[in-house]
Structure 1
Amino acid sequence: MFSQRYGGTFRVLEFTPDGDTICPMCKDTSCVVKDNKSGDEICRRTGRVLQERCISEEQEWRTFGNDANATGESKNRVGGANDVWLDDGGMERTQIATSNQRMARLNDTATQASQTDRILLEAFRTFRNVANHQKVRESVVERGKDMIKHLSDKDQLQRRKTEVHMLAVLYLACKEDGSFIQLRELRVGYPEITEEQLKNAIKILQKKLEGRPTVAQNQAAVLCNRVCSKLCIRDPHKSLIADACTAAEMQIASAVRPSSLVGAVLWLAVRMLGLTHRIKDIKDAAGAAVQTIQQACKKLEIRKIFSDEFIRLCKPEAVLELEGASEAGAIADGEGGSSASSSSSSSAVAPA
C-alpha cells in the first residue's frame, strides 16, 4: 500500500504480488507505463500520474568505447577492457584527485603506462589512421593489430611505428585477409613515401613476422570474386569460376601468385564461355602480367579445375579446342572470344 496525492487529496495505491502498480481509478495494471526519462508511472487509460520520480531498478543503457563498432546499445553497467591488445587491458591508468603534490606524483608514477604499452598505443594510433584512410574492413584492422602486437612481443616495434611501416603492415594484413591492395593505392595521401621505401619496409616486416601463426585464407577465390566484379561477370559464372580457382590452387604444386592464377583461370573461362574479354582486360583487372598468366595457363588442366556444371554452360567446340591446345602445349595462345589455337606450335605471347 502506498499513498499518492491527487488534486489536493491522497489516494492509496495498491500493488500486485509481482510489484506492479494498480491504478486506483480504473483498477487495472495493464495500462500502467513508466516514463524512464522523468521517472513517472502513468496510467494510459485515465492519464493520471500514479508515482513521481521513481528510481529505476533496471539495467542501464550504456555504450563503452571498446564497443564502438557494435550495433545498438547494450544493457551493461560495466564494460570489458578498453583494448585487449594491451598487457593491462588499458585499465591500468587511474587518476586520483588530491591537493598533496607528492601524493599526486606518486600516483602518476605508480599508474603510468609501461613504455611497451606507450609504443604499442602510438603504433596502433598510426595504423588506425592509415587503415581509416584506405577504408578497409575491420577484420583487416584486427589482423594488422595482431601483427603489430607480434612485433612488440619480439621487441621489434621501437623503430617500426612510422607511417611507412604501418602502410607495410596494412599491405600484409590485406594480403592475409584476402583483400588485395596495390602499392600505388597505399601511397595515395602519402606522396613523401616512395614505392621503393614501401617495398623495403614490406620485405623487412615479412622477415620479422616469420613464425607468426596465421589463419589460412582461400586467397585466389576471394580475389576472383573481386576481379569478376570488375569484368562484370555475374553468377552463376562468377561462383563457378571461383570454385575453379580453389581447385587450381590445389592442382598447381609450384608457387604461383594468386593474381596470376586467377588471371589464368579467368582467361580459360571466358574463352570457353565465348565472352569478348581480352587478355589485356583480365590482366588489368587481376593486376598480373600477360606472361605470368600464360605460364599459369600451361599448368592447368581444364577437366580437373572446372566442374561439370560449368562446362555444360560453355561452348562445346571451345572446350574441345582448348583441350586440344592443352595437349599441344599452346593453351595460352589466342586473343579474345573462343579463338584458341589448336596448332602444335609453341605458345606465342598474346599482344597486350
Structure 2
Amino acid sequence: LTPPSSLLLLSRRAVDSSDADFVSSLQRHLDWLKVCVEILSLPPAVLSLSLLPLHIFLPSLSRPAHVRTTAKTYSPLFVKTFVSQHKLATSYKSINRRRTQRITGKVTKPAALRPRKNKKAMAQLGAPSPGIENMPPDMPFRVNLNNRVMCPDCRENPPNIVEEGAEMLCGSCGLVLQDRLISSESEWRTFNSDDSRGADPNRVGDADNDLLTGSNVGTQIGGHFGSGATRKLQMTQSKLQGNKQDSKLQQGYARIQTWAETLKIPPGTSQLAKRYYMSVAESPAFRGKNMDAVLAGCLFIACRQHKVPRSFAEIFGTTSVPKKEIGRMYKQLERHLKHLADDQIEHLKNQGLSTAGSGYTGTKTTRPQDMVERICNQLGLKPRSIVQYAIHLAKETAGIQDLAGRSPLSTASACIYMAAHLVGEPRSYKDISKFANVSDATIKQAYKKLYEARADVVLSTWTKPDGSPVNMDQLPPS
C-alpha cells in the first residue's frame, strides 16, 4: 500500500486549491488505495488509517500559503491526536484563541518577555544593530528606512525567519510568509560513489565557454582514477557524445595558452588569439594546414592588434615554427580575417545596425619604438626618461639609411643602450641581449651606426634624473 507519508508529502507541496496537478494526483492516490483495499479484502480500518494524513492538509486546501498557521494548516483531529500523544495542555480552540489575542495585541509570546537564565549564552549574543530603534532617545528624529521582514502573527524583534526549500517561514509559529522563491544559491549536488576514492563528491554545473561549439553544457562521466568499468563508460560516452571539433579547439587553446605564458603575453591578447583560431578552424581554407603554424600566426596577429608586438624571431624561438612559414601563414590569416570582418559589416548594414568597431584593422610592420618599453621593463630601468629617450631615438632611426633594413629588436636594443648611458644607468650588451633575444654582436653593430649619427638624434634639452644636462661625451664609441 502507498504509505501515508506519501500523501503527507503531497500535502506539503500543495499551495492552493487551484493547483490542478495536485488535485489530480491526490485523486489517483485515493482511487488506488480503495482498489487495493477491495482486492486484498482488508478491513475498513486500514483505509481509514491510510487516509489519516488527509485530515492534516484538507483544511488548508482552500487557503493560500501566506495565511497558513498551525490552526489553519492542521485539522482538529490531527491537533487532538498530536496533543494526546505528546501530553500537551492545549487544544484546537485554545490555539485559535491565542492567535486572535496576539493579532489584537493583548498577549505576546512568552519567549519574547521571559528573561534568559543562561547568562553565558546572553553574553555571546552580538551587539544590537545600529537601527533607529536602538538609538538614544535624545537623538534627532529620523525616518526608519530599514526593510525588515517580520512575522505578522508573532511580531518578534528580531524576527526568526527561516529560508529553505524555496519558502520563507517563521521559525517560531510556522507561518508561511512567502513560497516559490527563486534561489540564488549554487545548484550543488552530491554524488556518493565508491569509484570516487576520496575525491570530492560535490558537483556543480560548469560555466559556459563561448570559445566552444556548445558541447561543454552536457554531462560527462567523471572519476579519473575510477575502476575499469568506469573507464569503459567514459570511453563509450566519449564516442557517443564526443565533439571532435571541440576536442581540436581545446588542443589549440592549450597550446596558445602555453606559448602566451612563455612569452609573457597578457591574458586578453591570448584570448583574442583563441578567437582568431576558432574562426579559422571552421574555415575549409585552412584544412590540412600545419596546426602549429596556424596557431603561431593567430598569436602573432593578436599581439600586433593589442599593441604588444612580438617579433618573428621570438615566436619562432617559442613555437619552433620556421620564420618563413609563420610569415606565409600570417599573410593568409590577414586576408581571411579581413574577409570575415567585411562580411560581418555587410550583414550589420543589411539589418540597419551600427557597424562601429566591427571592422578588422590590418596590422602594420613592427617598429623599433614598439619594442622599447617592454625591454626596458624587463631590464628594470626605473627612470622614465630612459624609455622616453629610447623611443625618440627609435623613431629617428627611420631616417638613418644604415639602420633601415635591420631587425626592430636590434635597433631598439641599440637605442636602449645609448639612452641608458646618457642618463647614467648603463647596461651592457650582454644584459640587453638576454631580454631582446638578439646577440650582443648584432646590438653592437647597430649601436655603431647609431653612434655615428648621435649629433642628429640626441636633443640638447635632455637631462638626467638629477636635472643636469646629458653629456654625449660619456657615450662609448663601441
TM-score by length of 1: 0.55
Change (3 A) 1:248 1:276: closer
Once the two structures are superposed, residues 149-207 of structure 1 have per-residue CA deviations (whole angstroms, 9 ceiling, x without a partner) of 564576432012624542443345345541637246524xxxxxxx4x53343122123
Aligned match of 1:208: 332
Rounded to whole Å, the distance in 2 between the matches of 1:281 and 1:48 is 77
Change (3 A) 1:26 1:160: same
Rounded to whole Å, the distance in 2 between the matches of 1:255 and 1:314 is 37
Partners of 1:231 and 1:285 within 8 A in 2: yes
Show structure 2 runs of 5+ residues with no match: 1-65, 72-81, 84-94, 104-146, 188-205, 220-240, 339-359, 399-403
- State which structure, 1 or 2, has the greater radius of gyration over its C-alpha atoms: 2
Change (3 A) 1:42 1:25: closer
Aligned match of 1:319: 471
Q: Secondary structure at the match of 1:313?
A: coil
Partners of 2:389 and 2:419 within 8 A in 1: no
1:226 counterpart (359, 364, 374)? 374
Partners of 2:372 and 2:387 within 8 A in 1: yes
Aligned match of 1:287: 437
Rounded to whole Å, the distance in 1 between the matches of 2:386 and 2:163 is 57
What amino acid sits opposite 2:254 in the alignment? N
What amino acid sits opposite 1:311 in the alignment? T
1:1-352 alignment, distance < 5 Å: 2-5=67-70, 9=95, 20-26=149-155, 31=159, 33=161, 35=163, 39-42=167-170, 50-51=175-176, 54-57=179-182, 82-83=209-210, 90=214, 121=246, 123-134=248-259, 135=261, 136-148=265-277, 151=280, 155-160=284-289, 162-174=291-303, 176-177=305-306, 178=308, 180=310, 182-183=314-315, 186-187=318-319, 195=320, 197-211=321-335, 212=338, 213-214=360-361, 223-234=371-382, 237=383, 239-248=384-393, 250-253=395-398, 254=404, 257-288=407-438, 289-290=442-443, 291-295=445-449, 301-303=456-458, 311-313=463-465, 316=468, 318-321=470-473, 338-341=474-477, 350=478
Rounded to whole Å, the distance in 2 between the matches of 1:232 and 1:214 is 33
Once the two structures are superposed, residues 44-77 of structure 1 have per-residue CA deviations (whole angstroms, 9 ceiling, x without a partner) of xxx6654389421466768xxxxxxxxxxxxxxx
Q: Secondary structure at the match of 2:322?
A: helix
Change (3 A) 1:183 1:297: farther
Partners of 1:34 and 1:40 within 8 A in 2: yes
Change (3 A) 1:157 1:204: same
Change (3 A) 1:41 1:165: same
Change (3 A) 1:229 1:141: closer
Rounded to whole Å, the distance in 2 between the matches of 1:19 and 1:318 is 70
Rounded to whole Å, the distance in 2 between the matches of 1:225 and 1:37 is 57
What amino acid sits opposite 2:271 in the alignment? E
| Deviation, structure 1 residue 319 | 2.5
Change (3 A) 1:137 1:224: same
| Deviation, structure 1 residue 320 | 3.9
What amino acid sits opposite 1:313 in the alignment? P
| Deviation, structure 1 residue 274 | 1.9
The structure showing larger relative contact order (alpha-carbon pairs under 8 Å, at least 6 residues apart) is: 1
Partners of 2:463 and 2:469 within 8 A in 1: no
- Structure 1 range deviating more: 142-151 or 294-303: 294-303
Q: Secondary structure at the match of 1:281?
A: helix
Tell me the number of residue pairs that the alignment of Structure 1 and Structure 2 aligns.
266
What amino acid sits opposite 1:180 in the alignment? R
Change (3 A) 1:146 1:171: same
TM-score by length of 2: 0.43
Q: Secondary structure at the match of 1:25?
A: coil
Rounded to whole Å, the distance in 2 between the matches of 1:215 and 1:199 is 20
Rounded to whole Å, the distance in 2 between the matches of 1:249 and 1:339 is 17
Partners of 1:221 and 1:246 within 8 A in 2: yes
Change (3 A) 1:80 1:174: same
Rounded to whole Å, the distance in 1 between the matches of 2:374 and 2:315 is 17
Once the two structures are superposed, residues 241-294 of structure 1 have per-residue CA deviations (whole angstroms, 9 ceiling, x without a partner) of 333454445444356644234312211221112224212222222223322344
Partners of 1:241 and 1:265 within 8 A in 2: no
Partners of 1:227 and 1:286 within 8 A in 2: yes
What amino acid sits opposite 2:372 in the alignment? C
What amino acid sits opposite 2:380 in the alignment? C
Rounded to whole Å, the distance in 2 between the matches of 1:59 and 1:52 is 18
Q: Secondary structure at the match of 1:145?
A: helix
Q: Secondary structure at the match of 2:69?
A: strand
Rounded to whole Å, the distance in 1 between the matches of 2:185 and 2:367 is 44
Once the two structures are superposed, residues 73-93 of structure 1 have per-residue CA deviations (whole angstroms, 9 ceiling, x without a partner) of xxxxxx99853x78xx649x9
What amino acid sits opposite 2:471 in the alignment? V
CA RMSD of aligned residues (A): 4.8
Rounded to whole Å, the distance in 2 between the matches of 1:200 and 1:159 is 18
Partners of 1:271 and 1:318 within 8 A in 2: no
